Amino acid sequence: MAQNFRRYINRNTGTSAVTIFTSDSYDTIVGINIANTTGSSVNASVYITNSTLDYYLIKTAPIPSGSSLQVLDGGAKFVVQSGDALKIISDTASSLDTVVSTVDDIST
Protein backbone atom coordinates (compact mmCIF):
# COMPACT_ATOMS: atom_id res chain seq x y z
CA MET A 1 0.00 0.00 0.00
CA ALA A 2 1.41 3.41 -0.97
CA GLN A 3 1.91 5.98 1.74
CA ASN A 4 0.76 9.57 1.27
CA PHE A 5 3.21 11.90 2.99
CA ARG A 6 2.01 15.46 3.65
CA ARG A 7 3.65 18.65 4.86
CA TYR A 8 1.82 21.52 6.55
CA ILE A 9 3.54 24.84 7.16
CA ASN A 10 2.53 27.99 8.99
CA ARG A 11 4.38 31.26 9.33
CA ASN A 12 4.27 34.01 11.96
CA THR A 13 2.03 32.23 14.48
CA GLY A 14 1.20 34.52 17.37
CA THR A 15 -1.17 34.93 20.29
CA SER A 16 -4.24 33.54 18.51
CA ALA A 17 -4.35 29.76 18.10
CA VAL A 18 -3.76 28.59 14.54
CA THR A 19 -5.05 25.30 13.15
CA ILE A 20 -2.13 23.71 11.30
CA PHE A 21 -4.29 20.92 9.89
CA THR A 22 -7.48 18.99 10.51
CA SER A 23 -7.45 15.26 9.93
CA ASP A 24 -9.99 13.81 7.51
CA SER A 25 -9.11 10.17 8.24
CA TYR A 26 -6.74 8.20 10.43
CA ASP A 27 -3.41 9.99 9.97
CA THR A 28 -0.03 9.73 11.67
CA ILE A 29 1.89 12.83 12.70
CA VAL A 30 5.57 12.01 12.31
CA GLY A 31 7.17 15.40 12.96
CA ILE A 32 6.49 18.83 14.43
CA ASN A 33 9.17 21.54 14.33
CA ILE A 34 8.59 25.02 15.76
CA ALA A 35 11.10 27.85 15.15
CA ASN A 36 11.27 31.07 17.13
CA THR A 37 11.76 33.89 14.61
CA THR A 38 12.02 36.73 17.14
CA GLY A 39 14.85 38.35 19.05
CA SER A 40 13.68 37.10 22.46
CA SER A 41 12.48 33.89 24.10
CA VAL A 42 8.85 32.88 23.51
CA ASN A 43 6.56 30.22 24.96
CA ALA A 44 4.70 27.86 22.64
CA SER A 45 1.88 25.38 23.08
CA VAL A 46 0.83 22.61 20.69
CA TYR A 47 -2.39 20.69 21.16
CA ILE A 48 -5.00 18.50 19.52
CA THR A 49 -8.64 19.57 19.63
CA ASN A 50 -11.03 16.61 19.59
CA SER A 51 -14.65 17.77 19.56
CA THR A 52 -14.46 20.64 22.04
CA LEU A 53 -11.65 19.28 24.24
CA ASP A 54 -7.98 20.27 23.98
CA TYR A 55 -5.21 17.72 24.60
CA TYR A 56 -1.77 19.30 24.97
CA LEU A 57 1.31 17.75 23.42
CA ILE A 58 3.38 20.55 24.92
CA LYS A 59 2.24 23.55 26.95
CA THR A 60 4.03 26.90 27.34
CA ALA A 61 7.39 25.42 26.33
CA PRO A 62 10.14 28.06 26.20
CA ILE A 63 11.95 28.46 22.88
CA PRO A 64 15.02 30.74 23.00
CA SER A 65 15.56 33.42 20.36
CA GLY A 66 16.60 31.93 17.02
CA SER A 67 16.11 28.35 18.25
CA SER A 68 13.66 25.62 17.41
CA LEU A 69 11.79 22.89 19.23
CA GLN A 70 11.11 19.37 17.98
CA VAL A 71 7.82 18.44 19.62
CA LEU A 72 8.20 14.82 18.52
CA ASP A 73 11.68 13.33 18.77
CA GLY A 74 13.38 9.98 19.01
CA GLY A 75 11.11 8.46 16.38
CA ALA A 76 7.93 9.27 18.31
CA LYS A 77 4.70 9.43 16.30
CA PHE A 78 1.05 9.66 17.12
CA VAL A 79 -2.22 8.91 15.39
CA VAL A 80 -5.06 11.37 14.92
CA GLN A 81 -8.53 10.53 13.70
CA SER A 82 -11.02 12.28 11.48
CA GLY A 83 -11.96 15.69 12.88
CA ASP A 84 -8.92 16.08 15.15
CA ALA A 85 -7.29 19.49 14.69
CA LEU A 86 -3.60 20.19 15.42
CA LYS A 87 -3.21 23.72 16.80
CA ILE A 88 -0.37 25.98 17.90
CA ILE A 89 -0.19 29.22 19.85
CA SER A 90 2.54 31.51 21.16
CA ASP A 91 2.68 34.09 23.94
CA THR A 92 4.23 36.57 21.48
CA ALA A 93 2.77 38.05 18.30
CA SER A 94 4.13 36.81 14.94
CA SER A 95 6.84 34.72 16.56
CA LEU A 96 6.74 31.11 15.32
CA ASP A 97 7.19 29.23 12.07
CA THR A 98 5.90 25.64 12.12
CA VAL A 99 6.45 22.60 9.91
CA VAL A 100 4.38 19.45 10.44
CA SER A 101 4.89 16.15 8.60
CA THR A 102 2.18 13.50 8.41
CA VAL A 103 1.34 10.22 6.76
CA ASP A 104 -2.19 10.51 5.37
CA ASP A 105 -4.83 7.77 5.27
CA ILE A 106 -3.10 5.04 7.22
CA SER A 107 -4.88 1.71 7.29
CA THR A 108 -6.99 0.95 10.34
What are the residue boundaries of the structural domains of the chain, listed by start?
Answer: 4-104
SS3 84: coil
Rounded CA Rg of the chain: 14
Is it the case that residue 38 has pLDDT exceeding 90? Answer: yes
pTM equals 0.91
Concatenate the DSSP letters of all residues of 57-102 into one string.
EEEEEEE-TT-EEESS-TT--EEE-TT-EEEEEESSTT-EEEEEEE
Mean predicted confidence (pLDDT) in 40-51: 97
pLDDT at 99: 97
Q: What is the pLDDT confidence band of residue 7, given thresholds at 50, 70 and 90?
A: very high
- Using CB atoms within 10 Å of the CB of residue 31, give its burial: 0 to 12 exposed, 13 to 18 middle, 19+ buried: middle
Q: How far apart are CA 37 and CA 41, in angstroms?
A: 10
pLDDT, mean of residues 36-53:
96
The string of pLDDT tens digits covering residues 76-107 is 899 999 999 999 999 999 999 999 999 987 66
Distance of CA 4 to the CA centre of its chain: 18
Listed in sequence order, the residues at least 6 apart from 52 whose beta carbon sits closer than 8 Å to its beta carbon are none
CA angle 87, 4, 31 (to 5 degrees): 40
Q: Give me the CATH topology for the region 4-104.
A: Jelly Rolls (2.60.120)
